[in-house]
Chain A
Amino acid sequence: MTDALLTGDLPLPPRPDYLRHGVTLKSWLITTDHKRIAILYAITITIFFFMGGIAITLVRLELLTPNGWLLTSDTYNKLFSFHGIVMVWFFLVPSIPNTLGNFLLPLMIGAPDVAFPRLNLFSWYLTIAAGVLTVYALIAGGVDTGWTFYTPYSTMFSNSHVFAAASGVFVVGFASIATGVNFIATTHMLRAPGMTWFRLPLFVWAIYATSIVMVLATPVLAISLLLVIAERWLGLPIFNPANGGDPILFQHLFWFYSHPAVYIMVLPAMGVVSEIIPCFARRRIFGYDFMVYAMLVIAGIGFFVWGHHMFVSGQSPYANLIFSFLSFIIAVPSAIKVFNWTASLYRGQISFEAPMLYALGFVGLFTTGGLSGLFLASIPVDVHVTDTYFVVAHFHYIMVGGSVSAFFAGLHFWWPKITGKMYPESWSRFAAILMYAGFNMTFLPQFFAGYLGMPRRYHTYPPEFQIYNVMSSSGAAILALAYLLPLGYLAWSLYYGERAGKNPWGATGLEWTTFSPPPPKNFDWQPRVDRGPYDYHAEGQSAGLDPPEVQNARGVL
Chain B
Amino acid sequence: MSGENAAPRVSARQLWRRNGLIWAALLSLLFLSLGLAYVPMGRMTMVAGIVIAFVKSSLVILLFMELVKSKPLVRLAAFAGVVCLAALFALTLADVLTRITTTQ
A and B in direct contact, judged by CB atoms within 8 A: yes
* From B73, B81, B84, B95, contact of A316 by CB (8 A): B95
Q: Are B88 and A256 in contact (CB under 8 A)?
A: yes
When distances are taken between beta carbons in the complex, the residues of chain B under 8 Å from A304 are 87, 91
When distances are taken between beta carbons in the complex, the residues of chain A under 8 Å from B97 are 316
B65 CB-CB contact with A under 8 Å: no
Interface string of B71-92 (1 = CB under 8 A from A): 0010000001100100110011
Give me 10 A-to-B residue pairs in the complex whose CB atoms sit less than 8 angstroms apart, sorted by A's number. A217-B84, A304-B87, A304-B91, A307-B95, A315-B99, A316-B98, A316-B100, A317-B98, A318-B95, A323-B91
Whole-angstrom CA separation of A300 from B59 in the bound complex: 29
Interface string of A283-321 (1 = CB under 8 A from B): 000000000000000000001101100100011111100
Whole-angstrom CA separation of A322 from B90 in the bound complex: 11
B15 CB-CB contact with A under 8 Å: no
By a beta-carbon cutoff of 8 Å, the part of chain B in contact with chain A is: 73, 80-81, 84, 87-88, 91-92, 94-100
Determine how close the nearest CB of chain A comes to the CB of B92; give it in whole angstroms. 5
Interface of chain A: mostly helix, strand, loop or mixed: helix
The 10 lowest CB-CB distance pairs between A and B, nearest first, are A319-B95, A316-B98, A318-B98, A216-B84, A316-B99, A252-B92, A319-B94, A315-B95, A316-B95, A303-B87
A220 CB-CB contact with B under 8 Å: yes
Whole-angstrom CA separation of A526 from B34 in the bound complex: 60
A350 CB-CB contact with B under 8 Å: no
Q: Are B98 and A188 in contact (CB under 8 A)?
A: no
Whole-angstrom CA separation of A323 from B96 in the bound complex: 14
Determine how close the nearest CB of chain B comes to the CB of A151; give it in whole angstroms. 15
Determine how close the nearest CB of chain B comes to the CB of A144; give it in whole angstroms. 28
Whole-angstrom CA separation of A306 from B96 in the bound complex: 15
A331 CB-CB contact with B under 8 Å: no
Whole-angstrom CA separation of A306 from B91 in the bound complex: 9
By a beta-carbon cutoff of 8 Å, the part of chain A in contact with chain B is: 188, 212, 216-217, 220, 246, 248-249, 252, 256, 303-304, 306-307, 310, 314-319, 322-323
Q: Are A318 and B73 in contact (CB under 8 A)?
A: no
Q: Are B94 and A322 in contact (CB under 8 A)?
A: yes
Whole-angstrom CA separation of A314 from B102 in the bound complex: 12
When distances are taken between beta carbons in the complex, the residues of chain A under 8 Å from B96 are 246, 249, 316
Q: Are A216 and B95 in contact (CB under 8 A)?
A: no
When distances are taken between beta carbons in the complex, the residues of chain A under 8 Å from B81 are 216
When distances are taken between beta carbons in the complex, the residues of chain B under 8 Å from A217 are 84
When distances are taken between beta carbons in the complex, the residues of chain A under 8 Å from B99 are 314-316
Determine how close the nearest CB of chain B comes to the CB of A257; give it in whole angstroms. 10
When distances are taken between beta carbons in the complex, the residues of chain B under 8 Å from A212 are 80
Q: Are B91 and A322 in contact (CB under 8 A)?
A: yes
When distances are taken between beta carbons in the complex, the residues of chain A under 8 Å from B94 are 316, 318-319, 322
Determine how close the nearest CB of chain B comes to the CB of A208; give it in whole angstroms. 13
When distances are taken between beta carbons in the complex, the residues of chain A under 8 Å from B91 are 304, 306-307, 319, 322-323
Determine how close the nearest CB of chain B comes to the CB of A506; give it in whole angstroms. 36
When distances are taken between beta carbons in the complex, the residues of chain A under 8 Å from B100 are 316-317
Determine how close the nearest CB of chain B comes to the CB of A241; give it in whole angstroms. 13
Determine how close the nearest CB of chain B comes to the CB of A377; give it in whole angstroms. 15
When distances are taken between beta carbons in the complex, the residues of chain B under 8 Å from A322 are 91, 94
Whole-angstrom CA separation of A117 from B99 in the bound complex: 48
Closest A residue, CB atoms, query B81? A216
Whole-angstrom CA separation of A304 from B99 in the bound complex: 19
Whole-angstrom CA separation of A188 from B72 in the bound complex: 12
Determine how close the nearest CB of chain B comes to the CB of A382; give it in whole angstroms. 16
When distances are taken between beta carbons in the complex, the residues of chain B under 8 Å from A220 are 88
When distances are taken between beta carbons in the complex, the residues of chain B under 8 Å from A314 are 99
- Supplied contacts A188-B73, A307-B91, 13 more A-B pairs, CB within 8 Å: A216-B80, A217-B84, A220-B88, A249-B92, A252-B92, A314-B99, A315-B99, A316-B94, A316-B97, A317-B98, A318-B95, A319-B94, A322-B94
